[in-house]
Copies of this chain bind each other. A is one copy, B any other.
Amino acid sequence: MSEESATVLIGIKPTMNYVLATTMPLNERKKVVLKARGRAISKAVDVAEIVRRRFVQDASIDAIIIGTEEGKSSMDGRPRNVSTIEITITPKKGEAAKPKPKEKPSAKPAE
Contact = CB atoms under 8 A, between A and B. Distances in A.
The binding surface of chain A is classed by DSSP as: mixed
Contacts of A78: none
This chain: copies in complex: 2
Contacts of A107: 65
Interface string A2-45: 01010000000000000000000000000101000011111001
A81 B86 CA distance: 22
Contacts of A45: 41, 66, 83, 85
Interface size band for A: 35 or more
A58 interface: no
A88 B69 contact: no
A85 B85 CA distance: 12
Closest 9 CB pairs of A and B: A67-B105, A63-B109, A64-B64, A41-B42, A97-B110, A45-B83, A88-B109, A49-B68, A65-B102
